[in-house]
Structure 1
């Protein structure tokens, strides 16, 4: 799957891409990432400047439409553009699954006081938010999105079944509790049913626990 990323800080993605599953995904050619540094597409009369004061006054600076438009036009492929913004639709697992079915996506991060509204009106296909809180930039949101979508690419996880019973794979449900060795630590014990070897009872217990956690979330 191809991710085309428009950003002011491509270095922020380095640790994510050089560690764990993303690193292996790149080596196995399951992921292809193409970065565009927005400052490279600034107006030649203002080298490196991609923001300006907001019309009508107010605090902060606004990311200009021109560098974003030029950066998009420089990309070799046209994929849906996902813009990370507080006003976007809140991301959920069903949306992640839908995005993961596509051959590629273009990710756009917001910065400063905001982004010129003409970007959302004319250049963006999806506006996405991680929740009702504010980040310093959209890069953190883009990295979370990238990880969430990537792990659903066939072959990306150690097993393609790894995500099947996870939280939110079925709408509104949380995964059952997990335990591992030792069976007793201090006076904290693993539920005996998980040690019973009775897979039917274990499956029933897990379903009940999942439903209980989901009701209480």
Structure 2
């Protein structure tokens, strides 16, 4: 039995970027199961004046353009009408680093989410007053918040009950416990180009298989840590 449908709303200047991602594979399946609902909001619809302006030059000088507060305040207010209890997430390098434990926390929460995708050189700082969480996907800069938003949405939706299919699919993955990497896995054929599947996996001894997998996960984790 699936939990209450979770609503994701994305505020962006490039809504077309989300068409393929949200309507393909697992995210499409989640919609068919009525586990999630997606809405992509075009920020330009809330722009100012006949040119629907959404940005302007920064006070104090500097390169580039900043997103103005008025369009984003209006867009968030509109999204809140559709889902009053939704949490507002701002994609920004200043935010907390996204990790699997946060994905699990957000998946388990009884709330929908509104994603603000920045563009240009940034945004007017007053926008932060709208935000519940500032989130980063890593210590690097991309052109806009769309790709981080897609990553975070994917990581949350796949943890919703029934979306992945197998009952333990999410439990054996990398970082499911916050730190351990997933063990290596194999399928047919048992030998390919002189590379063989480990004998223990062909043995049928489930206790030994579990022990081998645990050891391999620890090896992977040690390699990640550089030890």
TM-score w.r.t. length of structure 2: 0.92
| Match 1:77 to one of 56, 79, 83 | 83
- Secondary structure of 2:174's match? coil
Structure 1: how far apart are the matches of 2:56 and 2:77?
Answer: 22
Listed as ranges, the matches of 1:33-52 within 5 Å are 33-43=38-48, 45-52=49-56
Q: Which runs of 5+ in 1 are unaligned?
A: none
* Structure 2, gaps ≥5 residues long: 1-5
Distance of 2:19 and 2:166 partners within structure 1: 25
1:6 is matched with 11
Equivalent of 1:32 in 26, 37, 44: 37
Quote the Cα distance in structure 1 between the aligned partners of 2:180 and 2:216: 10
For the 8 Å contact 2:22–2:38, the answer to whether it is kept is: no
Matched residue, 2:217: 210
* 1:107 counterpart residue number: 115
Residue matched to 1:134: 141
